[in-house]
Every structure is written in C-alpha cells, then in structure tokens.
Structure 1
Amino acid sequence: MRYPDLPLPPVAGGFILSRHLNHSDPLLAVSHFAPQKYHDALAVEWGIPLPARLQQAVIKRRAEYLASRFLVRSVMAELGIADFILSNAPDRSPCWPAGIQASLSHSAGVVVVAATRQPCAIGIDVEQFMLEKTAQDTAELLMNEQEQQLLRTLPISFSAAATLLFSLKESIYKALWPQVYQPMDFLDAALVSVDLTQQRATLRLTQHFSGCFTAGTLLQATFLWHENQVITQVTHRL
C-alpha cells in the first residue's frame, strides 16, 4: 500500500486542506481537513445535507461527516458513479453503491477511503498513535499473550505496535461486518506475523463467523505509517 500522492482539485474555503488518491486496486484516497473551519453552510453549498441525527451534534462530528462524504463522492466519481452521497443503514454501516466494495475511516482531521469493484471484503482504518500508558492499560483487552510477546519483539515502541494492532483489528471488523453482520471482539482475531519492511501483516480468526470466515481463516493486511498515524487495510477475496 502506497500513501496517496495524486492530488484532486483543491477546495476553497480552508475546511478541506488536501485530497489525494492512488489509482490502485483497491483505490485509496486520503483527505486532510480543519474541523475548526467547518460551518453548516458548506453542507448546503456542496449538496451533502446533514442527516437529522447530526443536526444537534458537536462541530467535530459534523465536520467528520461532511469531510468523509465529500471524499467518498470524489472516490465514487473516479469509479464512474457521479454525485454519490453516502448514507447509513439502520445499524450505522455505510450503504455503498451496488457492485462496489468500500470502507471508510476518519481520525483527528484525516479521512481515508478504500474502494474496489472486485468481489472482496475490504476494511480500512486510520489511527493516531496511542500514548504509552494507553497501550499498556489496554493491552489485555486488545491482545492475547502471544500477540503481546510478538509486538514486544518489533523494533518500534510498544505504543506504536499496539496502535498498529488496534488498527488492524478495526480494519478486520470493517471488512467482515458487511459479510457476516456479527459483532466482533478484539480477541476474535490474532496477529500471526508482521513485516515492517514490506508493511504487511497476517492475522488469523479465532472464532467462527460464517462458511467463508471460519476459525483459522488467515487474513492479509497492508499498512503504512504517516507522521503520527498508521493506516491499515484488510482485503479478502470472496
């Protein structure tokens, strides 16, 4: 996975700071935005109305919604689907166009989107690095003993390694939910290997979810570091 470097047209007003994509498959796009520059008139101007559930939400939440939908619309246009506005199902999962497998994540002024027409489960996630104390305090919830031992052998800080693992498991959850519609615990998938040079990881499901996702199923992931963030992506052919 390569960090997106092909710029999309700039957006006036200061809310959207940048938008870049890669013409890879899955297509990968990233946008940086300034939450403090958000105002409701932008949603009207861009034709992306806020849903009723967000009318009284805090500015941060409304900014995330608008920035993510704005990037999704650009990505769908690249795939030949014009003027698409992403909506959510009653379970809050995104409703993508027919024939499109995609995933969306946002964190601290960054939005990432991955999308493909290939028949695969796909999940993407972006996370800010955890504090060392947070990594230590949440280790038992996030990882089993073998995973913790593996992370401590990596030539990076434990907080960076724990953030990577957290993001990988979030990407797995996002990839599996549209296929199985079942809740997933952090310990329902276990890290098997990490290659920091190739920026690849393998995880194994420890629970049975469906005929396609049985206990023992191996899931391949890619990841990349950018400043104080990690982006992870899981794809699994269906």
Structure 2
Amino acid sequence: MRYPDLPLPPLTGGFILSAHLNRSDPLLAVSHFDPQNYHDALAVEWGIPLPARLQQAVSKRRAEYLASRLLVRSVMAELGIADFTLTNAPDRSPCWPAGIQASLSHSAGIVVVAATRQPCAVGIDVERFMSETTAQETAELLMNEQEQQLLRTLPVSFHEAATLLFSLKESLFKALWPQLHQPMDFLDAALVSVDFVQQCATLRLTQEFGGRFTPGTLLKGKFMWRDNQVITQITHRL
C-alpha cells in the first residue's frame, strides 16, 4: 500500500488543498481540504448540489460531503465513469456504480477512496490517532485480551496501536457491509497478526456472517502512517 503520488487536476478557491491517486488495484486516492475555505457556492460551481438532509448541517459536515464527492468523481472518471455523483441508500451506505466495488472515508481534512472492478470486498478508513486516555477507556469495547496483548508488543505507543486496530476493523466492516447488510460489533473480528515492516495485518472473524464469512475466516489488511493519521485498507476476494 503506497501513499498516492499522481496529482489530480488542481481546483481553485483554496478549499481542496491537494488530490493524488495511485493507479493500483484497488485504485487508491487521497485529497486534503480546508473546511475553513468551504462555502456553499462551491457545491453549485462544481455541480455537486447538497442533498436536503445537509442543507441545515454545520459547515464542517457540508465541507466533508463536497470534498468526498469531488474525490469520488475523480476516481470514477479514472475507471471510465464520467460526471458521477455519489448518493446514499436509505441505510446511508454509498451507492456505487454497477460493477464497482469501492469504499470512502474522511477525517479531519482528509478524504480517502479505494475502488476496483475486480470481484473483491473493499473497505478503507482513515483515522487521526486517538489519545492515550481514549485508548485506555475504549479498550474493552474495541479488543479482546489477546488483541490487547498483541498491541502492546508493537513498536508504537498503545494509543497508536489502538487507533490502527480501530481503523482496521472499520475498514473490515465497510468491506463486508455491501456483501451482508448486517451490523457488526468490534469484537466480531479479532486482530491476529501485524507486520510493521510490510505494513500489513490479518484479522479473523469470530462470528457467523453468512456462508462465505464463517467464524475463522481470515481477511488481509494493509496500512500506512501519515503524520498523525493512519490509513487502512481491507480487500477480500469474493
């Protein structure tokens, strides 16, 4: 998993600070944006009108919506689908074009998108490092005892390791939701290995999720650190 380095065409106005992609498979793209430079006229200018549910939302939420839809549009164009605007199903899950498996995440001024035409479950997530206090207070919700022991052996602080675990499980849930449409708990999957040299990890399902996703199913993940954030990705051949 390599941080995207091919620049996308710049946009004026100071809202989108940068946007890059990798022509990997899954295709991976990332953009940085400045919520302080958001204004509603940009959505009109770029042809991505705000949905009714966001008309009264705080500016930060509207900025995240526009930044994410702009990056998705660029990614879909790379896959041969022009002028695509991402919408949401009633359950708030994204409605991707037919034949596309994709995932989207945003956090604190960054958007990441992964997409492929291959028959793969794909999930991606980006997280700012949680504080040490948050890591300790949420440990029982996020991890079992074996996972906590594993995290404490990693060559990073516990709060960074806990953020990695949280993000990997978020990527896993995003990858499986389009296949199952079934909610998952953080303890429904367990981290079993982490390789910091190769920046990869393996998770194992601990619960039954349909015939293809039985207890013991192993799913591979990748990750990378960037400043005070971690980006994770899960792909699983269907």
Aligned to 1:90: 90
* Offset at residue 65 of structure 1 (A): 0.2
Any gaps of 5 or more consecutive residues in structure 2? none
Q: How many residues align?
A: 238
2:30 maps to amino acid: V
Q: Report matched runs for 1:203-218 at 5 Å.
A: 203-218=203-218
Residue 154 of structure 1 pairs with residue 139 of structure 2: no
1:167 maps to amino acid: S
Aligned to 2:224: 224
Aligned to 1:136: 136
* Offset at residue 155 of structure 1 (A): 1.2
Aligned to 2:25: 25
Residue 178 of structure 1 pairs with residue 178 of structure 2: yes
Residue 75 of structure 1 pairs with residue 83 of structure 2: no
* Offset at residue 189 of structure 1 (A): 0.2
Identical-pair percentage: 84
- The ranges of structure 1 where at least 4 consecutive aligned residues each deviate by more than 6 angstroms after the TM superposition are none
TM-score in terms of structure 2 length: 1.00
Any gaps of 5 or more consecutive residues in structure 1? none
Alignment RMSD, CA only?
A: 0.4
Aligned to 1:58: 58
Per-residue CA deviations over 1:54-88 (Å, capped at 9, x if unaligned) read 00000000000000000000000000000000000
Aligned to 1:109: 109
TM-score in terms of structure 1 length: 1.00
Per-residue CA deviations over 1:87-124 (Å, capped at 9, x if unaligned) read 00000000000000000000000000000000010000
1:179 maps to amino acid: Q
Q: Distance in 2 between matches of 1:87 and 1:215?
A: 33
Per-residue CA deviations over 1:19-75 (Å, capped at 9, x if unaligned) read 000000000000000001000000000000100000000000000000000000000
Q: Distance in 1 between matches of 2:234 and 2:210?
A: 18
Q: Distance in 2 between matches of 1:237 and 1:19?
A: 28
Q: Distance in 2 between matches of 1:9 and 1:47?
A: 16
* Offset at residue 154 of structure 1 (A): 0.7
SS at the partner of 2:106? strand
1:112 maps to amino acid: V
Q: Distance in 1 between matches of 2:214 and 2:83?
A: 38
2:11 maps to amino acid: V
